[in-house]
């Protein structure tokens, strides 16, 4: 088995295994680029958020706004409310008066708003939207969640990224061995890099 053979097979099988992610990242980029269009599609009077719980609540605010502290605080709040973390958990403190906590899985988003000043808390469910289903898939990543499956997803995201770099390297290697396509290949590669540099300067 030659290096050429291994390179071609790895290029192919890696792409076939990662095909759902590859396709997902391509399709899910559309709602990001056509955000206004999709927002208009869902202007049908159905509210974006529906309140599930609204009640008095008191828990001392976290001592600082560091991500780890906020994450721990969010876990405690979610525990107090008997909510289940099915996907990822995140928290955001925009000011001293409010802390937002998000529970997100691919199909369902929950927002918890803790009003520190008024000592109350609200839990809301987000309506399902296909565009947001895809953008959630696209944006999911990171190793800061507790569950093994979340870490496994993040690992696959790393694999995808490294595969892209591998496909570039192995693709360029395969192209270079096709002598009849070298000239136009150089034109394509060169014009791509030139365009990219122009964008870097001009944007």
- Residues contributing to the site for other proteins (CB under 8 A): 9, 12-13, 15-27, 29-30, 32-33, 36, 66-67, 86-88, 105-107, 140-144, 147, 149-150, 152-154, 156-158, 160-162, 164-165, 167-168, 171-172, 175, 181, 184-185, 188-189, 191-193, 195-196, 199-200, 202-203
Smallest gap, in angstroms, from Cβ of residue 111 to other proteins?
18
Which H or E element spans position 162?
A: helix 148-176
Pick 57 or 153: Cβ nearer other proteins: 153
d(CA 32, CA 89): 22
Smallest gap, in angstroms, from Cβ of residue 60 to other proteins?
22
CB under 8 Å to 144, separation ≥6 — which residues? 67, 71
Helix (H, G, I), strand (E, B) or coil at 115: strand
Pick 55 or 95: Cβ nearer other proteins: 95
Pick 26 or 115: Cβ nearer other proteins: 26
Q: Could you tell me the sign of the dihedral formed by the alpha carbons of 155, 158, 162, 164, in that order?
A: positive
d(CA 68, CA 87): 18
Smallest gap, in angstroms, from Cβ of residue 58 to other proteins?
28
Pick 72 or 147: Cβ nearer other proteins: 147
Smallest gap, in angstroms, from Cβ of residue 33 to other proteins?
5
Pick 12 or 54: Cβ nearer other proteins: 12
Where does residue 153 rank: exposed (0-12), middle (13-18), buried (19+ CB within 10 A)?
A: buried
8 A C-beta contact, residue 100 and residue 113: yes
8 A C-beta contact, residue 90 and residue 74: yes
Smallest gap, in angstroms, from Cβ of residue 26 to other proteins?
3
């Amino acid at each position: 088995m030659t290096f050429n053979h291994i390179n071609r097979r790895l290029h192919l099988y890696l792409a076939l295994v990662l095909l759902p992610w590859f396709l997902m990242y391509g399709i899910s980029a559309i709602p990001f680029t056509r955000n206004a269009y999709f927002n208009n599609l869902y202007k049908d009077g159905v509210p974006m958020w529906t309140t599930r719980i609204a009640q008095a609540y008191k828990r001392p605010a976290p001592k600082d706004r560091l991500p780890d502290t906020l994450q721990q605080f969010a876990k405690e709040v979610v525990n107090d409310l008997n909510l289940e973390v099915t996907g990822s958990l995140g928290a955001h403190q925009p000011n001293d008066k409010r802390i937002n906590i998000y529970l997100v899985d691919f199909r369902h988003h929950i927002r918890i708003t803790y009003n520190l000043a008024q000592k109350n808390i609200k839990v809301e469910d987000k309506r399902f939207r296909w565009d947001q289903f895809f953008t959630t898939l696209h944006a999911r990543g990171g190793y800061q969640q507790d569950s093994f499956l979340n870490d496994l997803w993040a690992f696959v995201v790393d694999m995808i990224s490294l595969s892209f770099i591998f496909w570039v390297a192995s693709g360029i290697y395969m192209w270079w061995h096709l002598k009849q396509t070298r000239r136009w290949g150089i034109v394509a590669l060169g014009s791509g890099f030139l365009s990219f540099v122009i964008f870097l300067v001009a944007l």
